[in-house]
A and B are shown apart, each in its own frame.
Chain A
Amino acid sequence: MSEYIFYPGCSIESSAKAYYESTMAICKPLGIALKEIDDWNCCGATEYLSLNLTPAYALIGRNLALAEKQANGSQTVVAPCSACYLNLAKADHYMYEDKAFGEKINEALSAGGLHYTPGKLAVRHLLDVLVNEIGLDKIRAQVSKPLAGLRVVPYLGCMLPRPDYGERYSDSEHPLEFDELLQALGAEVIDFPLKTACCGGHMTQIGPDTAFELIRRLIAAASESGADVIATVCPMCQMNLDAFQGQMNGYFHTHYKMPVLFFTQLMGIAFGEKPEKLGFGQEFVSARQALKRIGVEVPEAAPAAKKPAGLPMPSPLQKKPIGTTEEASQ
C-alpha cells in the first residue's frame, strides 16, 4: 500500500466530481491510499496569488503546515488539480529558496499556531505520482479492458509541465509521460502539437473572446486529428474545454462535439470499472458515442440531482433587457 497526503482542491468538490470519483476508483486497485488533509482551504488559484504576496503564500502555507502536521509516514502531497499542485509547489519552492520570505510566511502562520518547514514535503501532481512513482508496469498490470481503437488526445495544459520546479517532466512543452500512460492503457495516442497550450484559464470569466479562441484552437486541432476524446489532468482545463464548448460553438458558429474527460476516467474504464462509478455522464459533451466504439456502454444520465427551478441565474435573464448584447449582434 502506498500512502499519500491528499489535497483535493475546491473544484473536485463541485465541478469536477467525476475526477474525484474516478481517482478513488483507480487508486484502490493500484494500492494507493490517499489521506485527505483535514480542514484544508482553497489554494487561492491564480486569482489570490496574483493580487497579493504575503497573504497568498500564507493561504497556501496553511495547507502545507496542516499537511506537515498531519503527515504520517508519507512526505508527499498529491494534488489532482494542476493549479492547486502548482500553487502548493510554488509556495514550498519560494519559501525554501528565499529564506527571509519563508520566515515571513511562517510568521503569518504563527498567528494561527502553525508552522511549515520549507522543503519538508514533496508536492506532486496525481499524474506524476502515477507515472513516476507507481510506474507504468503496475498500471499495465491492472488493464483488463484495453482502450484499443480509442483515439485520445493527451492534453496537459500549462501548470503541470511549467514551470516544473521539481523537474519531474521530460520537457516543459512536449513531455511524453502522459502519452506513455495512455498508451499503457491501450489507447491510440495522438501526437498533439498543442498538448501544453493554454485552455483559456480564467479568461472565460474576464475576456471570453480570447478564451473562446483558445478553446477553439484546441477543440479544432483535436477534431482535425480525428480524436474520439480529449483526456485532461486538470479541472479547469476540463471545464473550459467541455462546459464552454457549447458557447464557443455559438461564438464561432461551429458544431464541434468533442468529449473532454479526466484521464482517471479512462484509466477506470481500462481497469474494467463500471462507467457509472467513474463519473461518466457528468460531462457536457457526452462521451457515450466514443465509449461505444470500444464496446463500453454508459447508462443514460441519472436524473437531475436538483430541480433547476430555483436557479438564481436564469431568472434575472427573464427580467433583464438584452437588446444590445454581443450574442444579439452576431
Chain B
Amino acid sequence: MSAEEKKPQERVGVYVCHCGTNIAGVVNVEDVSTWAGEKLKDQGVVVSRDYKFMCSSLGQELIQNDIKEFGLTRVVVAACSPHLHEQTFRTACKGADLNPYLCELVSIREQVSWVHTDKDAATEKSKAIISGGVSRVVHHEPLEPLYVSIHPATLIVGGGIAGIQAALEIADAGYPVYLVEREPSIGGHMAQFDKTFPTLDCSACILTPKMVQVGNHPNITLLTYSEVEKVDGFVGNFVVSIRKRARSVNEADCTGCGICWEKCPKKVIDDKFEVGIGYRKAVYTPFPQAVPKYPVIDRENCIYYEKGTCKACEKFCPTGAINFAQEDEIMNVEVGNIILATGWDLFDARRIPNYGYGRLPNVFTSMEFERLSNAAGPTGGQIVLRDGKTVPKSVAIIHCVGSRDKNYNNYCSSICCMQSLKFAHLVHERTGATVYNCYIDIRTPAKAYDEFYQRLIEEGTLFIRGKVAEVTDAALSPAEEGKLVIQVEDTLIGKQRRIPVDMVVLSAALEPRADSKEVAKRFGISCSADGWFIEKHPKLDPVATMTEGIYIAGVVQGPKDIPASVVQGAAAAARVLGKIQQKEIALEPVRATVNEEQCSGCRICNDLCPFSAILFHEDKMVSEINPALCQGCGTCVAACPAGAISGTGFSNEQILSQIDGLLFLNIKSKEAVKA
C-alpha cells in the first residue's frame, strides 16, 4: 500500500481535544492520546497530546510549539466538526509556517461523544477515526487559495420589504444594485396590508416612502415584471440573465397618468394583489402607489390580444406610450453577489375541508381579510360579508390554519398570532362585532407584542383555547340558522362548544413559494424539506448560504414578520458590502480537476455538477472544470466512469488511505485492548 511507502517521510502530530466534558465525558481521551503516540508510530506519529480545549489560544500554541520543536510536517486534530474549527487549526498551522492544508481535523465529538453512550466503544471508535486521519494526512499536498476579484454590483431578487431594505442599504453605500421583481410593482405582501402590528401604523404610510426611494435611487436599476432565468459564474463574478416581460407600455413615454386603465373596458378579477376579492382592468398597476408607476397590459385578458380590436388605451393615451408589439427582452448583467428575498405564498385553505373555505362564502383567508380591511381595498376598508354589504355582528378568527399540523405544515408560521390579534382589533374598531379568537397557544415573544395581546383582552376579544374542529353551515338549533357555526373544544373548560358567527377568518400558514425548489436549484443553494432556503448556520450565519456569494433575506429563509425581514435585508446587505470592500476574496482550494488523458468525453459529469462548473470542449472532446466555480463537492469525482476526475484534498489515494487507517485500527486495537 502507498501508506507504507510514504510513512517514513512525514512527521505527524496528533492532538486530542477534551472539549471540556463534551468529548472527555464519553471518550477516554488520555487513553486515545497515549494509544496514538504508541501504536501509530509506524504511520509517522512523533507526538500525541490531549488538552482540555485545543481551540483555546493555549491549545493552539501547543500545536505551534510542537511544529517547531518536533519539525512536524503534518497535524491531525481530533476534536469537533470541521464546520466549527477547521479554520482555527489551519490558521494556527499557518502561524507556525506549516501549510494550512497539511492539517486534518477529525470529528470525535459530533461523530462520537455526542452520539454514543458506551464509553469503551466510543474510545475505540475515536482511535479508529484518528488512525484514518493520520493515514490520510500524510497524502495531503500543500495548497494555495485561489483569489478572485469581486464585481461591485449586486443582484437582489424579490422586491418585498426585505429586498427593498437590502437594495437601499447597498445603494446608499454607493454600490450598484439590480432589483428584480416578478410583479408589475415592488412592495410585496406588505403593500397589501392596511395596518402593521403591534403599533398599528399604516402599512402603506411606512412602506411607500421606501418604495419611492428605490424607484428614484441613482444606484438602483429597478426591473419589475421580470424574472431571473439563468445564473452563471461564481462569487464575485456572476452573470445573470433576466427576462424583462413585455409591459406593452413604453416606459420612456408613459407618465403614469392612469387614463389607459380608466378607459379600458375589460374588468378582470384580481387574484394577485386583491387575492380574488377585487377587480382590476386588463391594463393596470396593482395599486395606486405602485413603483414604478407604469402599467402593464395583461395579454391573457386584453380584448385586443383576444379579438384583435379595441385599443381603447392606445386611443386615449396622451403620450402614445402603448406598444402592443413590444416583446420580452433578455438582459445579461454582471454582479458580484446575489441576495434572494423571494418571499412566501399563502397556504391554500381549501386543503382543510372541515374549515369550509371555498365552500362556505363567509369563510375568509387572512389575506382576504387584509384586503377587506384596507382603505384602498375593494370595500374601501369596510369589513363586510361576501355579499359586499352586510356588516358582521360576530367574527371568529382561527389561528394555526395549516401551521403546526402534521397533515399540512409542521412549523409555526410565527406571524399568525399577532396578525390574528390585529384582525380582532380591526373588527372591534370598524364593526363593534363580537370577536372570538381560537388559538392553541398565543405566541407574542417580541418587543411590545405581549402588551398588544393585553390590549386585545382589554378590548373584549373572547379568547378560546382550542383548535377549531370544524366550521359548518349545518344548523342544529334555531340560533344557528343562517350562521356559520364553529365547533371547538374550549380546552380550558373541557367542553365542546358550538358558536354561531357571521364571519370566519382563517389565519393561514406562510408557505414557501410554489417554485422555491426550482429557484434554489437555479441559484445553486439548498432548500429544507419544507421548502425554505437553508442558511449557512441557523444561529451564527443566518443570511449566508453554503454557496459563496449568495445570500437570503426575509421569509424565504423561514416564516417571520416585517421587523425580522427588515433586519435580515439589512444584514444580507452588510454581508455583501463587506465582501465588495474586500475587492478580492480567497476561495477554498479544494477543487476537482479532470485528467484530459483519461477523460473519454462521455459528459456524464457535465449535467451532474450542481454548480455548473464543468464545461465541455467540443474540439478536444474533453470536459474541463472551472476552478473558480467548483465548490469541491465531489459529485463528478464519484460519477466519472473513467476515474479521470480527482478532487484536490479528496484524491483516491487520500480517501483509500483513510479507509485503510480506519480498518487498521479494527484489527490492531482489539489486541491493544486485550493487552
Q: Do A and B come from one complex?
A: yes
A103 lies within 8 A of chain B by Cβ: no
**Size of A's binding interface in residues, CB under 8 A:** 11
Is the Cβ of B474 less than 8 Å from the Cβ of A193? yes
User: With the chains together, A173 CA to B357 CA distance in Å?
Assistant: 13
Extra contacts, 12 of them, besides A171-B353, A173-B353, A194-B472 (Cβ < 8 A), are A172-B353, A174-B359, A191-B359, A193-B356, A193-B359, A193-B472, A193-B473, A193-B474, A194-B474, A213-B476, A217-B474, A221-B474
B207 to chain A, nearest CB (A): 39
Q: Nearest residue in A to B355 (C-beta to C-beta)? A: A173
Q: Nearest residue in B to A173 (C-beta to C-beta)? A: B353
Chain A neighbourhood of B353, CB < 8 A: 171-174
Q: Tell me the chain B residues, 465-509 only, with Cβ under 8 Å from chain A.
A: 472-474, 476
Q: Nearest residue in B to A191 (C-beta to C-beta)? A: B359
B residues at A contact (CB < 8 Å): 353-354, 356, 359, 472-474, 476
Chain A neighbourhood of B356, CB < 8 A: 193
B10 to chain A, nearest CB (A): 52
Q: List 5 A-B contacts (CB under 8 A).
A: A174-B353, A174-B359, A193-B474, A194-B472, A217-B474
Chain A neighbourhood of B476, CB < 8 A: 213, 217
A327 to chain B, nearest CB (A): 23
Is the Cβ of B354 less than 8 Å from the Cβ of A173? yes
User: With the chains together, A194 CA to B485 CA distance in Å?
Assistant: 13
Q: Nearest residue in B to A197 (C-beta to C-beta)? A: B474
B462 to chain A, nearest CB (A): 25
The A/B interface has a contact count, at CB < 8 Å, of 19
Q: Nearest residue in A to B359 (C-beta to C-beta)? A: A174
- B356, B474, B476 — which one has the most chain A CB atoms within 10 A of its CB? B474
A167 to chain B, nearest CB (A): 13
Chain B neighbourhood of A191, CB < 8 A: 359
Write out, one digit per residue, whether chain A residues 201-229 have a CB within 8 A of any chain B CB (1) or not (0): 00000000000010001000100000000
User: With the chains together, A172 CA to B472 CA distance in Å?
Assistant: 16
User: With the chains together, A194 CA to B472 CA distance in Å?
Assistant: 9
The 9 closest A-B pairs by CB, nearest first: A173-B353, A174-B353, A193-B474, A221-B474, A194-B474, A173-B354, A171-B353, A193-B472, A193-B473
Q: Tell me the chain A residues, 145-199 only, with Cβ under 8 Å from chain B.
A: 171-174, 191, 193-194, 197
Chain A neighbourhood of B354, CB < 8 A: 173
Q: Nearest residue in B to A218 (C-beta to C-beta)? A: B474
Chain B neighbourhood of A193, CB < 8 A: 356, 359, 472-474
User: With the chains together, A304 CA to B516 CA distance in Å?
Assistant: 69
User: With the chains together, A213 CA to B476 CA distance in Å?
Assistant: 9
Chain B neighbourhood of A213, CB < 8 A: 476
Chain A neighbourhood of B472, CB < 8 A: 193-194
Q: Nearest residue in B to A174 (C-beta to C-beta)? A: B353
B564 to chain A, nearest CB (A): 35
User: With the chains together, A35 CA to B317 CA distance in Å?
Assistant: 77
User: With the chains together, A61 CA to B373 CA distance in Å?
Assistant: 59
B38 to chain A, nearest CB (A): 47
Q: Nearest residue in A to B352 (C-beta to C-beta)? A: A173
B615 to chain A, nearest CB (A): 46
B113 to chain A, nearest CB (A): 33
B362 to chain A, nearest CB (A): 14
Chain B neighbourhood of A217, CB < 8 A: 474, 476
User: With the chains together, A197 CA to B470 CA distance in Å?
Assistant: 12
A218 to chain B, nearest CB (A): 9
Chain A neighbourhood of B474, CB < 8 A: 193-194, 197, 217, 221
Q: Nearest residue in A to B473 (C-beta to C-beta)? A: A193
Q: Tell me the chain A residues, 237-255 only, with Cβ under 8 Å from chain B.
A: none
Q: Nearest residue in B to A225 (C-beta to C-beta)? A: B474
A181 to chain B, nearest CB (A): 19
B70 to chain A, nearest CB (A): 57
User: With the chains together, A208 CA to B673 CA distance in Å?
Assistant: 73
User: With the chains together, A39 CA to B474 CA distance in Å?
Assistant: 44
User: With the chains together, A278 CA to B506 CA distance in Å?
Assistant: 46
B605 to chain A, nearest CB (A): 40
Chain B neighbourhood of A171, CB < 8 A: 353
A142 to chain B, nearest CB (A): 31
User: With the chains together, A171 CA to B476 CA distance in Å?
Assistant: 24
Q: Nearest residue in A to B356 (C-beta to C-beta)? A: A193
B631 to chain A, nearest CB (A): 40
Write out, one digit per residue, whether chain A residues 50-71 have a CB within 8 A of any chain B CB (1) or not (0): 0000000000000000000000
User: With the chains together, A193 CA to B472 CA distance in Å?
Assistant: 7
User: With the chains together, A173 CA to B472 CA distance in Å?
Assistant: 12
A46 to chain B, nearest CB (A): 21
B497 to chain A, nearest CB (A): 16
User: With the chains together, A118 CA to B558 CA distance in Å?
Assistant: 42
Chain B neighbourhood of A174, CB < 8 A: 353, 359
A226 to chain B, nearest CB (A): 15
A311 to chain B, nearest CB (A): 36
Chain A neighbourhood of B359, CB < 8 A: 174, 191, 193
User: With the chains together, A191 CA to B472 CA distance in Å?
Assistant: 13
Q: Nearest residue in A to B470 (C-beta to C-beta)? A: A173
User: With the chains together, A217 CA to B485 CA distance in Å?
Assistant: 14
B355 to chain A, nearest CB (A): 10
User: With the chains together, A197 CA to B472 CA distance in Å?
Assistant: 11
User: With the chains together, A283 CA to B479 CA distance in Å?
Assistant: 33
A24 to chain B, nearest CB (A): 34
User: With the chains together, A197 CA to B473 CA distance in Å?
Assistant: 13
User: With the chains together, A91 CA to B572 CA distance in Å?
Assistant: 55
User: With the chains together, A314 CA to B116 CA distance in Å?
Assistant: 72
B328 to chain A, nearest CB (A): 39
Write out, one digit per residue, whether chain A residues 129-151 have a CB within 8 A of any chain B CB (1) or not (0): 00000000000000000000000
A152 to chain B, nearest CB (A): 17
B407 to chain A, nearest CB (A): 10
Q: Nearest residue in A to B354 (C-beta to C-beta)? A: A173
Q: Tell me the chain A residues, 3-57 only, with Cβ under 8 Å from chain B.
A: none
User: With the chains together, A172 CA to B473 CA distance in Å?
Assistant: 18
User: With the chains together, A17 CA to B474 CA distance in Å?
Assistant: 32
A227 to chain B, nearest CB (A): 13
